[in-house]
Amino acid sequence: MATVELTRSTFENTVLEGDIVLVDFWAAWCGPCQAFGPVFEASSEKHPDITFAKVDTDAEQELSGALNIRSIPTLMAFRDGIGVFSQAGALPGHVLEDLIGQIRALDMDEVRAQIAAAESELAE
């Protein structure tokens, strides 16, 4: 599956509608971004059930700012509409594959329970 370009207007629906969504925040002038691009693309071919998306931080400055992107490349992962991973830096292929395995293995009921508990503590 090829990667899809995300914009401010398509980001939310893409994240909420996908089971697993990986988002690469990048820029054309960024060397590490250029190195990570082929790794990200190759992984998208191995996992057609996952949405692989890219956000051009130069073109989408408002979106990048809203998501607190401070360094690129930054990879964010969402599962069932919930952010489960965010890290700056280019990942080697084997690390990206390991991360995908970890995301697939998440118990989302447990994740939701942890979020609810954290929100409950904040409300007190």
For residue 5, the cross-strand partners are 54
- In the prediction, which pLDDT does 18 show? 87
Q: Which listed residue (15, 23, 33, 69) is catalytic?
A: 33
Given a cut of 70, the residues of the chain with pLDDT beneath it are 1
Tokens of 91: 């990942």
- Confidence (pLDDT) at 1: 57
* Residue 30 a catalytic site member: yes
Domain harbouring 84, CATH code? 3.40.30.10
Q: Which of 30, 55, 76, 77 is catalytic?
A: 30
Element (H, E) at 39: helix 31-46
Query: Which residues form the domain of 77?
Result: 4-123
Separation of CA 17 from chain center: 14
- Total domains, the chain: 1
In the chain, what is the greatest distance between 2 CA atoms, to the nearest angstrom?
46
Q: Are 6 and 60 in contact (CB under 8 A)?
A: yes
